[in-house]
Amino acid sequence: MMCCPYNALDGSMKRLNLDAVFDVALGYSDRRPGWTATLVYDPGSEAFVELRSSPPDLRGSSADEAEEVTRQYVFNAFQLTEEDIDAVRQSPASWLLVNRR
């Protein structure tokens, strides 16, 4: 089990099991310009979480963050429609990863 802490919409810190999530989309963060992002769906909490990484520094290190995002954010940052979001929620295992990079 690979745990990842993330900021929930209500401001609390929650934990995500990265082995149990489904990759939804690759792209760039709207919250952190220049950072790469992976949108995942956690069926256990029914949350969409953006996992993001900063550009690497001179040593190759980068910062990481994770934050639950809203449907509107998913639409704005990853161009997924309401129908796409519903499809992910209904059958996450059959969703095909969208690459927006």
pLDDT beyond 90 at 1:
no
Residues 20, 22, 84: CA angle, nearest 5 degrees: 145
In a domain, 100, yes or no: no
Q: Containing domain of residue 21, as a range?
A: 3-94
In a domain, 99, yes or no: no
pLDDT tens, residue by residue, 73-85:
999 999 999 999 9
pLDDT tens, residue by residue, 22-57:
999 999 999 999 999 999 999 999 999 999 999 988
In a domain, 87, yes or no: yes
In a domain, 61, yes or no: yes
pTM: 0.93
The total number of structural domains in the chain stands at 1
